Every structure is written in structure tokens, then in C-alpha cells.
A = this chain, B = another copy of it.
Amino acid sequence: MQLTKFSDYALRILMHLAAGDRQRSAREIAQAQGLSFNHLAKISQWLAAEGYVEATRGRGGGMRLARAADDISVGALLRKSEAGSPLVECLGENGGCCALKPACGLLPYLAEAQEAFFATLDKRSLADVMSRKSGLAKLVEDVTTAPAT
């Protein structure tokens, strides 16, 4: 069972931004975390469009959280970012082509389990994530300011 890299990296961006109080560019985050800039740039645009981050263009520009961290639900974010990634192909938009689908008794149970997954995370905020373990803010500063190797 896999989340998309899109969701994984979206959460990493938000954690990176929540760890400090200054703006950070997608390039800076990509470099610090060793991820593809192009990929992060695309995800950052999506995060801005969904109202999670505010972006300032130009020199010295970057992103910051557009809401308080305790107002960002992990479950709510994943429900959106995973919307195009159905648990099994027949739950997708095109419905897949499983021969058993017309009488399938499995799909309702899978949908129920997926809902339990999201519901567990609905009640977890970015603030919870940041406070669950200590040292994340310092780690982010360390990886961000470390000289490129």
C-alpha cells in the first residue's frame, strides 16, 4: 500500500516550512532534502492553489504556510492529494475493467478501510506532527544550511 510521491513530498514541504519562521523557496527545500526541484516546484504550486502555502515571487521570495500548522489536517490534505490514486483500479474514475465488478462484494470493504485510514489522519494536524518528536526544527536548519557536498 503506497502513497504517491506527490503526497509524500507535499508533506515534507509543509514540515520544512513549519520548522522555521522564514520563507523558503522550492529550490532551497529541494536542495536541503535531496529531492528533484522540478517535482517540488509542481507540488508547491498545488499547495498554493489549495491554500496551504503563500508564495512570494522574485529575489528573496519563497513560500510560507498560509495557515497555522494546527489548522492543517494531514487527513484532509491526503484526501485531496491522493484523489487521483485509487486503492484498486476499479475504484478509479474510469472504473477499471475487472470482470467481477458488477457483483463485487469486496469494494465496499476496501472503501471502508480506506475511510478508516483517512479518518485516523483527519484528527492529526501539522502542529501535531511537528510536536510529536523533538529536534525537527533544528534538523531542518542543519540540512538547509549544510554546505552542498
Interface residues of A, Cβ cutoff 8 Å to B: 1-4, 8, 11-12, 15-16, 32-34, 74-75, 78, 82, 85-89, 97-100, 102-106, 108-110, 112-114, 116-121, 124, 128-136, 138-140, 143
Contact = CB atoms under 8 A, between A and B. Distances in A.
Contact of A104 (B82, B88, B121, B136): B136
Task: Count this chain's copies in the assembly.
Answer: 2
A15 B106 CA distance: 9
Contacts of A75: 113
Given A114-B1, A120-B112, A140 B100 contact: yes
Contacts of A78: 1
B120 A106 contact: no
